[in-house]
Amino acid sequence: MSSATVVSTTEVVAPETVTVHLERDPATATATATATAAENEYWPLTFEAVRDCDLTYFGCDHSAYMVRDGMRAIIITGQEPRFKNKEMYVWKYLSEYSPPSDRGFMFSAGENSVVSAVQNNMEVGHSGCSMGWTMRQIEFIAKNGVPAHRNTYLNRRREQQQAMRREQCNCRE
């Protein structure tokens, strides 16, 4: 007996006018202590899930470390009394948040208490550029989940490699 899974999709237009397809509607996210494996795959909800999250697709230990640090910071932020007492679910909040389109994460630091708390809870020493890059990765994961991030990242890498090969072939002609 086989069972079919129905996945509803939602389309969101990010400030950069890049259309992303959500694998799961963020409005259905729950903040239960007993998260299923699928939920942990979508958004890592515990320090153990962050530790076990497969980020090898980056092909770069430092990039994976920065994203993993951002994930840990989200969990730490959610445990802060000022957010926990409001039953604020930080992953869900970030799935609905976009930084100001004219300044992004890098130049809007301090304007949003949740985003600022996540940034302040990161342990990696960041430049403005690496903080902005890390927050964009976290934003995509919050809005689309780790599986979509992995697929998008690998597809872009594949497309870039194919373009480089085509370019090399054209140079030889």
Give per-residue pLDDT as tens, 42-71.
Answer: 888 889 999 988 888 888 899 999 999 999
Structural domains of the chain, count: 1
C-alpha 100/C-alpha 63 separation (Å) is 24
Q: Is residue 10 part of a domain?
A: no
The predicted model scores a pTM of 0.69
Specify the pLDDT at position 14. Answer: 43
Q: At what angle do helices 128-144 and 61-79 cross, to 10 degrees?
A: 70
Of residues 133 and 166, more confidently modeled: 133
User: Within a domain: residue 27?
Assistant: no
Residue type, 114: V
| Residue 88 in domain | yes
| Residue 48 or residue 33, greater confidence | 48
Q: What is the pLDDT of residues 135-163, one digit of tens each?
A: 999 999 999 998 888 888 888 888 888 88
Q: How far apart are CA 68 and CA 138, in angstroms?
A: 9
Per the domain annotation, does 55 fall within a domain?
yes
Residue 49: give the domain boundaries: 37-147
The pLDDT score that the predictor gives to residue 163 is 82
Chain centroid, CA 79 distance in Å: 19
Tens of pLDDT, residue by residue over 88-134, are 789 999 999 999 888 888 888 788 899 999 999 999 888 888 999 99
Identify the pLDDT of residue 15: 41
116 inside domain: yes
Cβ of 164: how many Cβ atoms within 10 Å? 10
Asked whether 147 and 23 are in contact (CB, 8 A), the reply is yes
- Residue 78 located in a structural domain: yes
Q: What's the CA gap between 45 and 32, in Å, rounded?
A: 9
* Mean pLDDT along residues 5-16: 43
Domain-located, residue 75:
yes
Please answer whether residues 31 and 87 qualify as being in contact, where contact means their C-beta atoms are separated by less than 8 angstroms.
Answer: yes
Does 105 map to a domain?
yes
Q: Are 118 and 74 within 8 A, CB to CB?
A: yes
Residue 87 has pLDDT above 80, yes or no: no
